[in-house]
Chain A
Amino acid sequence: MAYVAVKGGEQAILNTHRLISETRRGNQALAELTLAQISAQFGLAVDRVMAEGSIYDRELAALALKQAQGDMIEAIFLLRAYRTTLPRIAASEPVDTSEMAIRRRVSATFKDIPGGQVLGPTYDYTHRLLDFALAAEGLERSQAVVAAAPLDEQVPQVIDLLDSEGLIEEESDDGQEEVFDLTREPMRFPAGRDQRLQNLARGDEGFVLGLAYSTLRGYGHNHPFVGELRLGEVMVEIVPEELGFPVAIAEITVTECQMINQFRGSAEKPPQFTRGYGLTFGHNERKVMAMSLVDRAMRARELGEDVRYPAQDEEFVLSHADNVEANGFVTHFKLPHYVDFQGELQLVRQLRAEHEATREAAQMKEAAE
């Protein structure tokens, strides 16, 4: 009977699982991808999935990418759902990025900086020409030249150099012990900067990038300079209650951006530079730069600027940056809605009938006159 056709079936669902599994594997004559291959050769994809999925684990992120056929948002979603099942063991100490083992570090504000500019691995200076040699397997690569001396263990932040002159706003520890945890608490407005930065770090790269772009095109008042962009490894430490001193539990790769922005000053504050900040797991330069621009834009109210544009509106930005939330809600309209649609059908039919009746009545009246 036709009636059956509108209802799903358990069997049909099981079949979709089998079909997606077949589709994922594709041509069986080809070798299957290993997690190690994904982790090693799709490293930037893995980095984005770790950053927005909020778990630092290359192997899990690689698995998520494999399972999702390379669909980033699906892979991020898989990691997030897995994250839910993990108990919270401890909160780490703040990581100290001045002690980062630097692989890349550039500043746009000074020609030369203490510790030097380190270009590191980047696509910035490649010409975006398809490299047909890569299409062949087993390509021999030339070795990069290693610097004569290692970098200093402590490399000061460029932005701190401006601190001594008072040219840039001072950023100090507010003594707040408890940091807002977006993964455990619902969002709250007005949001603290901790909540905003967490949201941006997990937020969709495309969304944050677009917002950042808007601030540069007049929908905001950003006049940014990259104070410093750095990539490298930092230690994560926790202080176990029974020990009372910090112990290192992991070394992770992070990308950090300190953006310097102009500030014209207010009645209370003299003109000075202000900061925008970005940090994520893994190598995500585009993301941290966009993040630091949007972070600065959202500080508009705090700095006494007009809040006029989308990127400055924290409730708008924070409520829509998360791609797992956005993806779910946008795609849920695939689900059956026929009960509500039936209600709407009835309503529209009723309204149309009434509309028609009123029109006819008016015509009758006109004719009679």
Chain B
Amino acid sequence: MSASITTNHNDSGYNFAYLDEQTKRMIRRSLLKALSIPGYQVPFGGREMPLAYGWGTGGIQVTAAVIGPDDRLKVIDQGADDTTNAVSIRRFFETVADVAVTESTEDATIVQTRHRIPETPLKEDQILVYQVPQPEPLKKIDPRETETRKMHAYGEYGAMQVTLYEDIARFGRIAKAYDYPAIVNGRHLMSPSPIPKFDNPKMENNPAIQLFGAGREKRIYAIPPYTSVRSLDFDDHPFEVQSWKGCCALCGSTESYLDEVITDDKGSRMFVCSDTDFCNTRQAEKTATAVADDQASGEEA
């Protein structure tokens, strides 16, 4: 037995995108079913990946099943291309798929993300792959899959509404800042993964294909393009997103999701865009305009 395996020991034995072809076929079949039943979690035979469960194995398997030599891959974590886990996943695909990578949302054909949807609007044919730690939005209501599966089967989401209403009774609002559940295509309750609720509206009627991979829980689900995604709310307490008083300290944006950065040990802080590509692009544009303005005013004088 050992002899047949030893040929694979060295680095050269891995298939394109790490997974063997049979595994890719299985994931691909699951992806097509996921798109056919928007928001429904398709169980799939998730494999162990060389990254730890909870660190993006679901997203990685989905990307590995989808990616080809013509793709340009962007990987973000917390909106940023240079966070450690994003770097690590990007390097994984550079190594096992020899694929072109980019930090530009605009140029990417596939964006794998953890915890954010890029600020730059996505286009048709682009694919957004979400890493999902816990795909079951009803888990907090009942930890048993045997129970939550029935709730999804019969669309019985009353218990979820009750939980949210308890928040309103207690806090005067729905106390949920991220992983805010939504109903997809008017039927399935879905976890959007731990994106801030700020990003929820971006999922609706998006021209791009949104795929969700939960590796440890072995579930795949999807939102097709141009699909209704309604964040749960109540008539007297409509869904609303976060907003900030100030703007990004680097690019001046007032429309993006801001991270709070503590700048010294006295607790001073600043707010900057979590989406680094969006922020860098805006900064570059500002510099270019400033230079152009300088030149223009110079010519006038």
Question: Interface of A with B (CB < 8 Å)?
Answer: 2-3, 6-10, 12-13, 56-60, 77, 80-81, 83-88, 183-190, 249-250, 315, 324-325, 327-332, 335-340, 342-347, 350-351, 354
Contacts and interface: CB of A to CB of B under 8 A. Distances in A.
Given A186-B44, A340-B196, A351-B171, A329 B5 contact: no
Contacts of B179: 340
A13 to B, nearest CB: 6
Contact of A77 (B2, B52, B218): B52
A340 B177 contact: yes
Given A84-B49, A186-B218, A332-B133, 14 more contacts: A8-B83, A10-B82, A57-B2, A84-B20, A87-B22, A329-B54, A335-B85, A336-B84, A339-B178, A339-B257, A340-B179, A342-B257, A343-B242, A344-B178
Contact of A8 (B84, B114, B115): B84
Nearest to B215: A328
A114 to B, nearest CB: 33
Nearest to B61: A84
Given A338-B78, A343-B242, A13 B84 contact: yes
B80 interface: yes
B48 A80 contact: yes
Contacts of B57: 328
A260 B171 CA distance: 55
A339 B84 contact: no
Contacts of A57: 1-2, 5
B18 A336 contact: no
A328 B178 CA distance: 21
B87 interface: yes
Closest 9 CB pairs of A and B: A328-B53, A343-B177, A332-B54, A8-B84, A328-B52, A186-B218, A80-B48, A329-B54, A84-B47
B96 to A, nearest CB: 10
Contacts of B1: 56-57, 249-250
B259 interface: yes
A2 B83 contact: no
Contacts of B185: none
Contact of A185 (B18, B45, B50, B85): B45
A86 B5 contact: yes
Contacts of A190: 146
Contacts of A3: 250, 261, 270, 272
Interface residues of B, number: 75
A315 B261 CA distance: 42
Given A8-B84, A87-B20, A315 B50 contact: no
Contact of A85 (B20, B194, B259, B276): B20
Interface string B3-25: 00110110001110011101100
Contact of B261 (A2, A59, A186): A2
B190 interface: no
A151 to B, nearest CB: 25
B13 A85 contact: yes
Given A12-B84, A56-B1, A329-B133, A85 B18 contact: yes
Interface string B173-213: 10101110000000000000011111000000000000000
Given A2-B264, A85-B14, A185-B45, A339 B2 contact: no
B47 A336 contact: no
Contacts of B116: 339
A344 B177 contact: yes
A88 B25 CA distance: 14
Contacts of B114: 335
Given A84-B47, A186-B44, A328-B216, A7 B177 contact: no
B166 interface: no
Contacts of B177: 340, 343-344, 346-347
Given A315-B146, A343-B198, A331 B52 contact: yes
Contacts of A337: 78, 115, 194
